[in-house]
Structure 1
Amino acid sequence: MLASTLMLIALLCAGVFIPVPYSEMSPGPTVNTLGDHGGEPVLQVSGRKTYPTSGHLNMTTVRVTSADYRMNLVEAVYGWLAHDNKVVPHETLYPDGKTEEQSTQENAEEFSQSQESAKVAALKELDVPVKSWVIVSTVVKGSPAEGELHAGDVIKAVDGTAVKEPADVAKLVTKHKPGQAVRFTIVPAKEQAAAEKEKRTPTKTQDVTITTTTSDDAGEKRAIVGISAGTDHTFPFTIDIKLADVGGPSAGLMFALGIYDKLTPGSLTGGKFVAGTGTIDDEGKVGPIGGIEMKTVGARAKGAQYFMTPADNCEAAAKDTPEGLTLIKVKTIEDALGALKDIRSGDTADLPKCGK
């Protein structure tokens, strides 16, 4: 008995001090996009008539352990056994040795982009015109483009061919061989900002010639200049989204629905508690996210009755649905609006549910 007791103590000590390559995910805060957070409205619209709202359209989050946190064996076992938590390989949350700072910065950029796409998707659904153009989103440090192109520069053409979408930039650049020159016609970021402020069309353009280099990522080698292209927009009125300490793109759908609700008469939810998640693009297409099981648990714990679920997450979410929560399968913002119409009317028999 003494030997067994000593062995047990030794194993427990080993479990406490032996680190394991895992991280933990757990339900995070859920915030009503129609309400206040931190003492101010989450969604603020100025320059356009808004309407009273009711009920909830909650975005959901997941808490994760930090990049430098080293989980021990005891914590990993406890996490595996806990129903509301999920233990995953560390590299799942922080691939390629990504630091906490890098992850935070990436999440902030994705969150900002999701807000822009949510605005565009909501306004397009309302037939409100939005001006869009292709921009330099980021410039890779040490690349041929560094110092030549800058974040926010508007890309009008590449080698004289007009650019209409971000994907056009890569297609035109990769037509070259590494070492060849490529010509960008741009509106400098400062000129674009000044034109927007003065509500005029920018007139100052310039040509920038950059010599391509060889890509160093996995896959087929190709010509690159070291930028990523994105989209920027001008809105006919101001929409501000105020929500600190949240990152990633997964709140896009719920922001879009919240904006739509504020800009249309009547209550979109009919006073019901609806939560959800999902990325959204400018065309209103809803994409999958991570940590769906944690988000449904967090939403139900706060009182959600319905959960807008990206179609590609339905299978995972349906495996362990919290009691009392209905998972609604959505592929587009139109799907979500149609489901909300049924919810507020009380006619929920034909809702597109996960698992059906």
Structure 2
Amino acid sequence: MRGVPLQNLPTALTAPRSRALALCALPVLALFAVAAFVPLPYTVEWPGVTADTLGTYKGRPVITVTGAQQRATEGQLRMVTITATEPGHRNSLWDSLRAWGDPEQVVVPTEEVYPQSNPKQANEVTQQQMTQSRDDATTAALNYLHLSPDQVKVAIDLGDIGGPSAGQMLALGIVDKIAGDGRGGDLTGGRTVAGTGTIDSAGRIGPVGGVPLKTQAAARDGATVFLLPRSECTQAKVNTPDGLQLVPVDTLAESVAALQALHDGGAVPHC
């Protein structure tokens, strides 16, 4: 095939200025092409698994009570998680831009998710946080029920799930399995209730972060009610799934009272 003579091309394409701009654009385009695949210090997060603290996780009971009669329960109390790219994984610019365009994903600096750059150390820290969360949830629940740890033993098994954010839902699960709503019924009223929040041994519920992703996970797995730390209401209202009622609380006692009010048709806190 014969080429097109330069004299037949538009003047705008053959002018020295145009040719110079075209030559300059080539390295810029190449730079962007390379940058799209260069690892960046960002982590992508998305809604993770949920687990019913009244039921089983990976075939094993989440909560087992000895020293007190364990109730048969209805409904669910689901703790929720966030899944993130591994601590040693670096996302490219292309990965990050794609995640920014997805309402069910967020991009955050890796150091905020994994302060420990070593993947093994990061996993050890999250498991230590879960151990502390289990202990505090047990103490808070038994204190609420006016029971002694010498009388009642609680075992909690959430497999390889780590971190501190299951505290509130674990404490509620213990209360429901031992005492229910205190009137012969279930705390859930037969509902699927999800939630998040740390808990200390005194029953105070603290913030955890990532609530918009957790509400997505809760709704996906059938929850209609979501318990959360009161301080995270504003964050929770971002992309709240339809049909999911946000219930803010500050303490375990408030969580129990809110669930009882839901069952009775009383006033329930809202964001």
TM-score bracket for this pair, using the shorter chain length:
0.7 to 0.9
Contact 1:52/1:266, CA 8 A, preserved across alignment: no
**How many residue pairs end up in the alignment?**
246
* RMSD between superposed Cα atoms in Å: 2.1
2:172 corresponds in structure 1 to 257
The answer to whether 1:278 aligns with 2:212 is: no
Q: What is the CA-CA distance between 1:237 and the residue it aligns to?
A: 2.5
Distance 1:299 1:6 in 2: 48
> What is the alpha-carbon distance in structure 1 between the residues aligned to residue 114 and residue 146 of structure 2?
40
Letter of the structure 1 residue corresponding to residue 70 of structure 2: T
Amino acid at match of 2:102: A
Is the aligned partner of 1:77 residue 2:97?
A: yes
User: Contact 1:33–1:254 (CA<8 Å) still a contact in 2?
Assistant: yes
For residue 36 of structure 1, the aligned residue among 28, 48, 56 is 56
SS of equivalent to 1:256 = helix
Deviation track 1:197-234 (CA, whole Å, cap 9, x = no partner) reads xxxxxxxxxxxxxxxxxxxxxxxxxxxxxxxxxxxxxx
Distance in 1 (CA, whole Å) between partners of 2:223 and 2:31 is 42
Assess if the C-alpha contact under 8 Å between 1:328 and 1:353 holds in 2.
Answer: yes
Residue number in structure 1 paired with 2:7: none
C-alpha change, 1:87 and 1:50, in structure 2 (3 Å) is same
Matched position secondary structure for 1:257:
helix
Indicate the structure (1 or 2) with the bigger Cα radius of gyration: 2
Q: Tell me if the contact between 1:54 and 1:269 (Cα under 8 Å) persists in the aligned partners.
A: yes
Question: 2:219 is matched with which residue?
Answer: 300
Amino acid at match of 2:260: K
Residue matched to 2:187:
268
Which structure shows the bigger proportion of residues in strand conformation? 1
Cα pair distance change 1:8/1:245, threshold 3 Å: farther
Letter in 2 for 1:56: Q
Write the distance in 1 (CA, Å) between the matches of 2:226 and 2:164.
17
Looking at structure 2, the residues matched to 256 and 17 of structure 1 have their Cα atoms a distance apart, in angstroms, of: 44
Shift of 1:13: 3.4
Q: How does 1:241-256 map to 2 (within 5 A)?
A: 241-256=156-171
Deviation at 1:281, TM superposition (A): 0.6
Tell whether 2:117 aligns with 1:62. Answer: no
CA deviation after TM superposition for structure 1 residue 313, in Å: 1.2
CA contact (8 A) 1:271 1:344 kept: no
Distance in 1 (CA, whole Å) between partners of 2:27 and 2:223 is 47
Divergent runs of 4+, >3 A? 5-13
- Report deviation, 1:99: 1.2
Partner of 2:262: 343
Q: Which has the higher helix share?
A: 2
- Map 1:1-356; keep pairs closer than 5 Å: 10=30, 13-95=33-115, 98-130=117-149, 235-264=150-179, 265-345=184-264, 347=265, 350-354=267-271
- Decide whether the 8 Å contact of 2:88 with 2:117 is kept in 1: no
Query: Are the equivalent residues in 1 in contact too, given 2:168–2:198 (CA < 8 A)?
Result: yes
The SS at the match of 2:48 is strand
Unaligned runs of 5+ in 1: 131-234
SS of alignment partner, residue 263 of structure 1: helix
